[in-house]
Structure 1
């Protein structure tokens, strides 16, 4: 099949919807909407050099998509990302290879020396990545929870002394306490690249300006008035909920506060009508995997970070 790989056209709703639809068909666990994609294209950091691609057949059918750019915030230069998505019905027709070639050419033009890519934990995907020179690095897991039928634990009738529950919406006048918690927790996230702290103004714009992040559903646990733990809700506005980030500040770990924050967010999401809850964890992140198991999440898929030297 003759394929054409082209850049996603900014401001063209049909392109954004085609990209979102393709990604959802390939990775159904993620929240991905055309509205959020358009927002990202307009607000991505200039230093990220975000670039999105569509692979189409002669009849205009979308056979795959990819996003690529620089790892913004990396403390080491020369790192880029390239993530491709080819729906099951289009696999084996050359779309993946065409998208990778175009993405790598773009990254090479930016001086990237090391490409990071997530690859599904499937034999075909693994062989494809290895054939193109990518090597496995670390594993991550997608976990799912059916909010319609899952027996979610009840919130404690009485909280420990000094502990209170809130939502991110309660911090509308000043999100800096949440920013400080997020910077501390993000620094402890497992990963292949060290990422420096994001300035507050940039963090505010890239997080709480997004159309798919829900401040009212997101859970926050306070201890003596200080932010101790939080769980961020990302939704598609229809039926899908994603835990964007859950964390506990170092001084408060080991007290079950992340579980409490996430449980509060999940119960709000169910009350709001969301039915599919997903989250993702690095395979080495034992504390968060334990939190999710306690809440009823089960592994639904895995993927591997792959690296390639350009």
Structure 2
């Protein structure tokens, strides 16, 4: 069966919902909605050359890719192409066509290197290696049963520490931007990231439709943000933490664990029953924290890389 690939029309409700449907089927441990798909396209940084690709078979959307340049990396020419085909439509040519289309787009945008997350399964890894990609670092997806599992009890913050929801920063989110930038810069990764564009962070991160400011928790030390756990929800019973971390000057005090525990308790009180997160396999401290909460590894991805000729 012949597949065709074209750029997604995020303003088309059928396109956006089809894209989100495939992502949920391929990665059930990541949150996606038609609204978030359209939002990501509308608020992409111009220097990212961001494009969503969709593969169709007989009019049905069966494959997706998020493609772009890592514009916030200090290293030039770094591109990414994360390709996912619906599990029921694999090994029919759609994935190979998306990869070729993605690489052509990235080459035109000036990429010299392409990174791609690949599920750690024999067929997926073989697919990447057939297309000239070599494995690099890996990351785990983790799941916690919020409905039936027992959470650690809430703890009283130590003297000088206060826990507040993300809504406390709605008038001025800039202190959270500074904290997010510092924490992100220290995340284990193949590609360094530097947040310097506050306006873009405000548009794409703070105003993202999946971000739950109500369930995000920030730990204040002497009134200033020192640690946080950023939460997302998709309108169902699912909750995800997309970043949890502590400012360098306050590490080793358990503040990230304190913030995440508060967020998880409020998520459960709000009726959410599944919690997801992800960690680089080399991020021992965060993996230990999530194990303490009761998270279990539910899948692993390997980051593959290819140099474009």
What residue number does 2:209 align with? Answer: 211
The 5-angstrom pairing of residues 161-310 of structure 1 reads 161-310=159-308
The 5-angstrom pairing of residues 14-25 of structure 1 reads 14-25=14-25
What residue number does 1:42 align with? Answer: 42
What residue number does 1:126 align with? Answer: 125
Q: Distance in 2 between matches of 1:159 and 1:38?
A: 39
Bigger mean CA offset, 5-14 vs 191-200? 191-200
Structure 1 stretches of at least 4 aligned residues deviating more than 4 Å after TM superposition: none
Aligned length: 308
Contact 2:219 2:227 in 1 (8 A): yes
User: Cα deviations across residues 136-193 of structure 1 (Å, max 9, x unaligned)?
Assistant: 010100000011011001111x321111110110111111221111111111001111
Contact 2:10 2:37 in 1 (8 A): no
What residue number does 1:51 align with? Answer: 51
Deviation at 1:281, TM superposition (A): 0.4
Deviation at 1:269, TM superposition (A): 1.1
Residue aligned with 2:186, SS: coil
What residue number does 1:68 align with? Answer: 67
TM-score (norm 1): 0.97
Give the superposed CA RMSD.
1.0
Deviation at 1:91, TM superposition (A): 1.2
Q: Distance in 1 between matches of 2:303 and 2:116?
A: 6
Residue aligned with 1:54, SS: strand
What residue number does 1:142 align with? Answer: 141
Deviation at 1:107, TM superposition (A): 0.9
TM-score (norm 2): 0.97
Deviation at 1:118, TM superposition (A): 0.1
What residue number does 1:27 align with? Answer: 27
User: Cα deviations across residues 64-109 of structure 1 (Å, max 9, x unaligned)?
Assistant: 1111011121111111110111121111111111110111111111
Contact 2:157 2:258 in 1 (8 A): no
Q: Distance in 2 between matches of 1:22 and 1:245?
A: 24
> Is 1:94 aligned to 2:60, yes or no?
no
Gaps of 5+ in 2: none
Deviation at 1:197, TM superposition (A): 2.5
Deviation at 1:199, TM superposition (A): 2.0
